[in-house]
Amino acid sequence: MTTAQGVVLFSSIHFALKAEKVIKEKGFAVKLIPVPRHLGSDCGVGLRIPWEEKDIIRKALGEASVPMEALHPLTSK
């Protein structure tokens, strides 16, 4: 069984890199990925996250003042 994944979108690579650092320091397994074309993004890089942890990750990014553009579930095709 695979864990559901999601992607956090940012307005710049700077915010994506900062988010990766903040969330990894919290012990979550995350990875920077190219944003799926159908989701779009100004910077083109998103942070893949475990979907069940989205609320904790959203809160951690807010506390670290890292602005998100959007948060989407990733679906397999």
Q: What pLDDT is recorded for position 20?
A: 96
Span between the terminal Cα atoms of the chain, in Å: 16
Residue 75 has pLDDT above 80, yes or no: no
Give the mean pLDDT of 62-75.
92
Q: What is the pLDDT of residues 33-50, one digit of tens each?
A: 998 777 765 668 899 999
**For position 19, which CATH number holds?**
3.30.70.260
Q: Identify the band that residue 6 occupies on the pLDDT scale cut at 50, 70 and 90.
A: very high
Q: What pLDDT is recorded for position 56?
A: 95
CA distance 64 to 5: 22
Q: Identify the band that residue 1 occupies on the pLDDT scale cut at 50, 70 and 90.
A: very low
- Which range marks the domain in which residue 52 is found? 5-73
Q: What pLDDT is recorded for position 76?
A: 61
Residue type, 20: E
CA distance 53 to 12: 23
3-state secondary structure of 49: strand
pTM of the model: 0.86
Number of structural domains in the chain = 1
- Tell me the residue length of the chain: 77
